[in-house]
Amino acid sequence: MFKTVVNRLSSRSVTQYNSAKSNLSTNSAPKPVVASFTLAVKEAEKVVGYPTSFLNLRWLLNDEIANVATHIKKLVHVEHPLIEAAKGFLFKNDIPTWGLIVLLVAKCGGLNNTQNVIDIDRTAGILHSQRILADVAEMIRTSILVHRGLLNPNDALSEHHDLYFGNKLALLCGDYILSKCFNDLANIKNHDVNDLISSTLRDMTENEFLGQRDVQNFPIPSKPLAEQTKHINLINQHDMGPYKVQEILGHCKPEWFLRNILGGANLLGKSCQAVCILTNQDTKLQESAFLLGKYMGLAWQIKIEVEMFTRMDFGSYFLVSAPVMWCLSSHPELYEEIAKGLMNIDNCDFDKIHEFISRTNAIEECRCVQGDLIKDCFTFLDAFDESPAKQSLWDLLESLKF
C-alpha cells in the first residue's frame, strides 16, 4: 500500500528528477551517438591518464561513503529519487564526465617552467592540483544533482518515515560532497582559483531559486513578455558579478540561457579557466578556456533536451527545456497550458504541450542554435596548440552534433 501511495505522489516527480539528472549529466545521450561518444571518451581517457568520475577511489574508499551506501539500501522499497541517482553515477558512465573535459583543457594548455616539480604528474603531463580541480568540478555538480533528489511529501504520507529519511540522506550526502570539494579546493592554495570556483556554487544555488517553482520545486517558465528581446548578452559575460535576473525573466530565450549558465555551464567554463590559472597561462588563453567550457556545456544541454523532447516518452522533459522556451518566445499562448502547473506540474497536459511544440519550428531553431555554439567552440579551441588532447576535445565536439 505504501509503495502505491508513494508512486502516486512522485511518479512524475521521479520522471522529472531523472530528467534533471540529465542536466549536463551522464545518462541522456541518444542511442545512435553513444558509440561515437564512447569511442571519443576512451581515447580521451588515454590522453589524461585515467578517468575522473564518481568512481574515483579518492572519493569511494572512505568510511563516510561506506556508511552512506548501507543507508541507501534502506530506500529501495520507497523508490526515492536518490536510488536512481546512485544507480546513474555508478553504472551509467558511457558519457564523458566534466572532470574529463577539464583535464583535456589542462592538457591542451600544457606546462611551463614555473610549476613546482613535486606537483607535476609526469605520466599524464598535467599537475596533480589540476587533477584535484577536475575532481572538484565533477563532484560539485554531483552534489547539486543529489540535492535535487529531495521530495516534498503530502500530508497523507506524514506517517511514513522512510521517505523523510531519504530526503535527509540526500541532503546530507550532497552537503558532505560539497564540504569535501571545498576542503580539497582550499588545499590547492590558490586564492584566484578558490574565488572562481566558489562563484560557481553561488550561481548554481541561485539557479535553484530562479523564477517560479511548483510544489515539488520543479521550475516553471516565467510568463512571456509582450516584447521578446534576443539581445541580452549573457553568454559572453566573463566576470565574477551576479546576473541581473529581473531584467531577463520573461524573455524566453535569454531566460533559458540564464538558467543553464547558472545551472552548470559556468561551472564547466570556470573550471576550464581555473586549470589554466594553475599553470600561469596568459589571460587570453584563460578566457578561451572559459568560453570553450561554457559554450560546450550549453551545446551539450540543448542536445540533451531536444533528444529528450523528441522521444515518445511524453512527460520526460522539463517545462523550461529549450524546445519549450523557444516555442514560448514566438507562441506565448502556450503559456496558458503551462500556467496550470504553477502549483503542481501534474496539472499540465504534457502530451498537449508536446503536440503544440511539434507543430512549430522550435526544434529546428534549437538545432541551429546548438550548431552555432559548436562552431564557436571550435573557434575557441583554435587558441590552443595542436596536441592529442586538442584532438580529443575536437572529437567530443563532433559527436555533439545532431
Strands (E), 156-231: 212-213, 219-220
The grid coordinates of residue 232 equal 541580452
Q: Are 62 and 122 in contact (CB under 8 A)?
A: no
Q: What is the pLDDT of residue 29?
A: 38
The single-letter code of the amino acid at 310 is T
The per-residue pLDDT string of the chain (402 residues; one tens digit each, 9 = 90 and over) reads 333 333 434 445 445 544 544 454 433 333 344 457 677 777 887 888 765 544 454 555 566 665 666 666 555 555 566 666 665 555 455 445 788 899 999 999 988 777 777 778 777 788 989 999 998 998 898 888 888 878 777 654 445 667 777 788 888 888 888 998 999 999 999 999 999 999 999 999 999 889 998 887 889 999 999 888 766 677 766 667 778 888 899 999 999 999 999 999 999 999 999 999 999 999 999 999 999 999 999 999 999 999 989 885 555 688 999 999 999 999 999 999 999 988 888 889 999 999 999 999 999 999 999 999 999 999 999 999 999 999 999 999 998 888
The grid coordinates of residue 16 equal 522529472
Q: What is the pLDDT of residue 198?
A: 93
d(CA 302, CA 308): 10
Q: What is the pLDDT of residue 124?
A: 78
Encode pLDDT of 97-146 as tens digits: 788 899 999 999 988 777 777 778 777 788 989 999 998 998 898 888 88
Q: Which domains does the chain have, with CATH numbers?
A: 2-400 (1.10.600.10)
The single-letter code of the amino acid at 256 is W
Encode pLDDT of 22-31 as tens digits: 454 433 333 3
Q: Is 260 exposed, middle or buried (0-12, 13-18, 19+ CB in 10 A)?
A: buried
CA dihedral angle for residue 245, residue 200, residue 141, residue 69, rounded to 10 degrees:
-110
Q: What is the pTM of this model?
A: 0.84
d(CA 33, CA 129): 33
Encode pLDDT of 157-187 as tens digits: 445 667 777 788 888 888 888 998 999 999 9
Q: Are 52 and 100 in contact (CB under 8 A)?
A: yes
Encode pLDDT of 204-219 as tens digits: 999 988 999 888 788 9
